[in-house]
Amino acid sequence: MAKRGTKLWLMKSEPDVYSIDDLERDGTEPWEGVRNYQARNFMREMAEGDLVLFYHSNAKPPGVAGICRVHRAAYPDPTQFDPKSDYYDAKSKKDEPRWSMVDVGFVEKFAEEVSLQALKDDPALTGMRVTQKGSRLSVQPVDAKHFRRVLKIAKAKTKLR
């Protein structure tokens, strides 16, 4: 799976806005519009090749839909300078951009989503950020043991089909 030293992440997207199917169709996608400092800082730690759990938030049910990969490390999000964009930030300076983004590439769509409930029900995933109440962070690091476990759940479900 992951190469030694590769960091592991989870990124949330509302499937009504951008889903794993959209990413499969597009191949790669700039992850624009993150306007939270903590999430931005995590994106700045990402390196090309890092693996990411693609999480569907505000979905019925919410859960991990598949895997993607960091295709390009952090660079300035151009939408912050575009007055017509929803993500425009008048306070951001061109010579010192406030917001960053990464490009992600499609890796895999799970045959069946691993629901948030399934994550919460698994004792091996205790402590995984996304399972904690009130966790709103849209970009977050994932422990290797948790990442492997989510993949294992996804594969087990595939076998049962």
Partner DNA sequence: GCCAACGTTGGC
Cβ proximity to DNA, 129 vs 155, nearer residue: 129
Stretch near DNA under the rule CB under 7 A, chosen from 57-65, 74-82, 101-109, 149-157: 57-65
Cis peptide preceding 123, ω within 30 of 0: no
Q: Which of 28, 37, 93, 111 binds DNA (CB under 7 A)?
A: 37
Cα–Cα distance measured from residue 92 to residue 81, given in angstroms and rounded to the nearest whole number:
7
58 belongs to the binding site for DNA (CB under 7 A): yes
Rounded to whole angstroms, what are the CA distances from 112 to 6, 82, 151, 160, 161?
A: 25, 38, 11, 11, 9
DSSP H or E segment with residue 12: strand 8-13
116 belongs to the binding site for DNA (CB under 7 A): yes
38 belongs to the binding site for DNA (CB under 7 A): yes
Cβ proximity to DNA, 2 vs 137, nearer residue: 137
Minimum CB separation from DNA for residue 68, in Å?
A: 17
Please answer whether residues 36 and 79 qualify as being in contact, where contact means their C-beta atoms are separated by less than 8 angstroms.
Answer: no
> Any residues with CB less than 8 A from the CB of 126 and at least 6 apart, and which?
none
Stretch near DNA under the rule CB under 7 A, chosen from 75-83, 96-104, 121-129, 132-140: 132-140
The residues that touch DNA, with contacts defined as CB under 7 A, are 12, 14, 35-38, 57-59, 61-62, 116-117, 120, 130, 133-138
